[in-house]
Amino acid sequence: MTELVLGPREAGAVDARLAQAALLDLAMEEAGAAVAAAARNYPDGPVLLLAGGGANGGDALVAARHLHVQGREVTVLAAPPTHELARLNRRRLRAVGVSIRFLTPEAVQRFARGAALLVDGLLGTGFRPPLRPPLATLIEAVNAAGCPVLSIDLPSGLDALSAEAPLPAVQADSTVTLMGWKPALLFGTAAARAGRVTLAPLTVPPGWVHEAALAGRPADAEVGALLPRRQPDAHKGTAGHVWVLGGHPGTTGAPAMTGVGALRAGAGLVSVHSLADIPLVMPELMIRRHRSWASAFSTMESQRPDAVVVGMGLGPQAAEVARRVLSWEVPTVLDADALQPELAGLGHASCLWTPHPGEAARLLNTSTAELTRHPLDAARALQQRLGGVVVFKGGPSVVAHEGGLSVARGGHPGMASAGMGDTLSGVLGALLGQGLLPWAAAVAGVRLHARAGERAAATHGYGLSASDVAQELGGAWRDLRGPS
């Protein structure tokens, strides 16, 4: 018999593969344990676990073992394994005395009848659309099962990177997602398929988390810690003077809404500069009407605000006005009409750009449908094009800066109404004016605005207006920051 002798390079490669396999085994064990723990949130009773052939199915097999050793009745239906660790975890499951049945739609239907919970481990991030027929029938059987469904990593049938939910896809009651938030769990019709999502951070090297799943999703306590804290002897001069530049005959409400948003988010002084008659919706706003932007800028020359918000309802001169404002190099929010392609790259590090999908499509010369299908990619592309910090607005909004992405929590569909973005730009201006860095102002501002929307929706539902949201900003601040 010849003895196999490995040179140092081959031995190194074998060691690296073994280390990788051990890490993946550990990660799958953690994933299965997290799923078993989440299953305990459902009422007692038999659990039906469905395992596909890949590693997502492997997670389900591990979960079945954990539930079984904890004394829970389990039924396991599994496809033939294609992944090495799915194979290994089949053997481990059998070794603790659990039998594995063949996965068919008929078996799903039969065993779901008495189940308290169905665990969906059919397809995870390895799924590549379009769905092949045997899986489509299985997914339809899951959706007809009549018991609660918990999906592993993401509901089977969803493409992890897309906000669209093709049919059929599993409709889950809850999802335990692994390592990081996938775009499908955050946006659009896909997110609606996932139910309540919890994140199980696994012990894996950072490089294993897919780039698209790297977006942060700060909890309210983290956001609250970003909000500025005031000294007891604070006065209006220390709380930031925000200038709002906007309005045009016919679009005079927009800058007024921005001014209100800024006041309600704690700005010490708010001046609204316009060529039009801006409605005095709050007497605390200082309205400055100018004859022309040239004369406005000449009167402004001797002073500088702590932050500027430019663009709301500003009309055809918006790019020119914004260009001038950018030359001041003070913290600036560019919104609405100031979001012009010709300004891309002309900003400075303290610029915050706030496009909604329509404005983003104009900036990137693409379609809104393409951007809303992949909101993380859209936010990243906008940041690369514009520089500074970008808030790509939506339900939910994405904040992008050079170092990463953050997706806001919460908000309410009732916020899809006019003036809501104007209010947000005021909030962002106020936070910049109170000294927050643009990234922190964006992350804190979008969550503050979304939280105010949730509060306003509790009273007004889909009938809520931007003014209702502005009124709730103080309460939202308290919710995030605590009383102080």
Ligand X SMILES: Nc1ncnc2c1ncn2[C@@H]1O[C@H](COP(=O)(O)OP(=O)(O)O)[C@@H](O)[C@H]1O
* Contacts with ligand X, residue ranges (CB under 6 A): 356, 393-397, 411-413, 415-416, 418-422, 424, 449-450
**What CA–CA distance (Å, rounded) separates 45 from 245?**
62
Verify binding: residue 52, ligand NPW, rule CB under 6 A: yes
**Are the C-beta atoms of residues 337 and 323 closer than 8 Å to each other?**
no
Q: How far is the CB of 145 from ligand NPW (least distance, A)?
A: 19
Partner whose binding site includes residue 395, from ligand NPW, ligand X, none (CB under 5 to 8 Å by kind): ligand X
CB of 2 to ligand NPW, least distance (A): 35
Q: What angle do CA 59, 206, 175 make, to 5 degrees?
A: 35
Q: Tell me, what amino acid is at 320? A: E
| 54 near ligand NPW, judged by CB under 6 A | yes
Tokens, residue 220 = 């309210």
Phi, psi of 460 (to 5 degrees): -105, -10
64, 98, 158, 178: residue in contact with ligand NPW (rule CB under 6 A): 178
166 or 395: CB nearest ligand X: 395
Cβ neighbour number for residue 260 with a 10 Å cutoff = 28
Half-sphere exposure of 181 (CA within 13 A, CB side): 21
Q: Is 176 in the site for ligand NPW (CB under 6 A)?
A: no
- Computed over its alpha carbons, how large is the radius of gyration of the chain? 27
**Annotated binding residue at 2?**
no
Sequence-ordered list of residues with C-beta below 8 angstroms from that of 397, at least 6 positions apart, any chain: 391, 407, 408, 411, 446, 450
Residue 29 binding ligand NPW, by CB under 6 A: no
Q: Is 212 in the site for ligand NPW (CB under 6 A)?
A: no
CA distances from 134 to 79, 126, 137, 141 (A): 11, 16, 5, 11
Cβ closer to ligand X: 182 or 356? 356
Subset of 179-208 contacting ligand NPW (CB under 6 A): 202, 204, 208
Rounded-to-integer distance, Cα 164 and Cα 189, Å: 5
Query: Does 128 carry a binding-site annotation?
Result: yes
- Total binding residues for ligand NPW by CB under 6 A? 31
Q: Which stretch binds ligand NPW (CB under 6 A): 91-99, 120-128, 366-374, 475-483?
A: 120-128
Least Cβ distance, residue 57 to ligand NPW (angstroms)? 6
Report what 56 binds from ligand NPW, ligand X, none; CB cut-off 5-8 Å by kind.
ligand NPW
Q: Does 175 bind ligand NPW (CB under 6 A)?
A: no
> One symbol per residue from 359 to 398: x for binding ligand NPW (CB under 6 A), - otherwise; what is it?
----------------------------------------
d(CA 321, CA 248): 13
The interface with ligand NPW within residues 69-88 (CB under 6 A) comprises 82-83
Q: How far apart are CA 228 and CA 239, in angstroms?
A: 10
Q: Is 306 annotated as a binding residue?
A: no
CA 473 to mean position of chain CA atoms: 21
> How do beta strands 404-407 and 398-401 pair?
antiparallel
Identity (one letter) of the amino acid at 313?
G
Residue nearest to ligand X (CB): 421
User: Rule CB under 6 A: which residues touch ligand NPW?
Assistant: 24, 27-28, 31, 52-59, 82-83, 123-132, 135, 152-153, 178, 202, 204, 208
Q: Which residues are annotated as a binding site for AMP?
A: 393-397, 421
